Amino acid sequence: MASSARSRKLRWSAPFAAAVVVALIVAIPGLSAADSPSLPAISAQQLITKVQQVKPVDLSGTINMTTDLGIPNLSALSNAAGGGDHGGPAFSPTDLLAGSHKALVWLAGPDKTRVALQLDMAETDVVHNGNNIWTWDSSTKKVVHYTIAADTKPTTPARGDAQAATDPAEAVKTPQQLADEFLANINPSTAVSMAAPISLAGQKAYQLVLAPHAGESTVDHVVIAVDSVTGLPLQVQVFAKGQKKAALSLGFSSLHYSTPAASRFAFAPPPGSTVTNKTLGGSHDATTAPVTPGTKAQADPNAKADPKAQADPNANPNAKADQPVTVGQDWTSVAILKGVQIPRQLNDFLKAATPVSGSFGQGRVLESSLVNVLVMDDGRVAVGAVSASALEAAVAAAP
């Protein structure tokens, strides 16, 4: 999305490999509509334009999350994919691959966002207020404080988007961001139509339907519900081929168009928490001692910067080793990662996966109704909402 005013991204700390998977398959449940409201007729192109021209709005609301991909429990990935040793929250994006979840969200102005992800007996918060971004994991009592450096502000999108040269990686998206990504795929590869209006989160909404022509895509169609007044995407549902129930969905269950109180965006490390300070655009990290009642978190002057965060002066800036590559485009794009370390907890799971071999090499395929993963014996991992054979072809064609 080119305009930061239209950026509504919710992010948590996670390794890139896990983030790629979640970016493809994080789901939010479809919200039922008991009636079809009466709305003025509008064309699909007019609705697309309405979404593309949506103006920023202050709001508070609840997003309910569920996934139904027909895959086994991936809780074994939690320790490997969470922030843990990276100083970020212990929350793992794999927690969102199955079951039901809830996130509370508050947006105010171009640079104030608060998101509270409700987990079982725990909560993960992300607070963006001006030049400061805080993440908090109640289960580990870890806080990460990001300060946005002045030289990175021009390229840092609003609404809590800790991005680029930092460790926060995209894991959960707002309906607007996910809708924007699907709308970017509208070209001759996509059939576009309209469905009946619905009532959603107290708003009357139009429904746009996108259907890929590509036979290798596992996506049957995508339904985007758009607020008839504001043009804000309220819900995105993705239906896999051969499935009647949405495999992936993202939507508001409640929504209020009003400016949240300023106190919503004020954050202080809770007593007993450990704070790690980082600079977006910089390389220095400092970890504080636990915060005790009546004291403020102070950076440890003896803390050493993470050597992995330091730039190697002898590194080749054009080197592409271990960098992810993308094969294909829009509906048939496949992300291929190199040098991925598979958690030992998944060894038995991988042994039960389907073995494949060919000119592309040898590996095993993990299949779901929507997203498939090809884990190669040489350490490469291919992920995409495409058929297993398309994953193999992508690996064979990758540079």
Which pLDDT does position 399 carry in this prediction? 85
237 DSSP β-pair partners: 223, 249
Sign of CA dihedral 29, 33, 39, 44: positive
Look at residues 144, 124, 207, 172 and name the one whose alpha carbon lies nearest to residue 25. 172
Q: What is the pTM of this model?
A: 0.73
Q: Which homologous superfamily does the CATH classification assign to the domain defined by 4-256?
A: Lipoprotein localisation LolA/LolB/LppX (2.50.20.10)
Could you give the CA distance from residue 22 to residue 68 in angstroms, rounded to a whole number? 13
Could you give the CA distance from residue 60 to residue 260 in angstroms, rounded to a whole number? 7
Which pLDDT does position 231 carry in this prediction? 96
Which pLDDT does position 163 carry in this prediction? 35
The residue extents of the domains of the chain are 4-256, 325-397
Could you give the CA distance from residue 345 to residue 79 in angstroms, rounded to a whole number? 9
Could you give the CA distance from residue 309 to residue 305 in angstroms, rounded to a whole number? 7
Q: What are the residue ranges in the chain where pLDDT is below 50?
A: 1-34, 73-96, 153-171, 283-287, 289, 291-321
Spatial contact of 93 and 19, defined as CB atoms under 8 Å apart: yes
Look at residues 23, 30, 44 and name the one whose alpha carbon lies nearest to residue 210. 44
Which pLDDT does position 130 carry in this prediction? 92
Which pLDDT does position 151 carry in this prediction? 63
The two structure tokens encoding residue 43: 């064309």
Assign residue 175 a region: left if phi > 0, alpha if psi is -120 to 50, beta otherwise? alpha
DSSP letter assigned to residue 217: B
Strand order in the sheet with 325-327: 325-327, 334-337, 381-384, 372-376, 361-366, 354-358
Which pLDDT does position 172 carry in this prediction? 54
Which pLDDT does position 322 carry in this prediction? 60
Cα 315 to chain centroid, rounded? 30
What SS3 class is residue 1?
coil
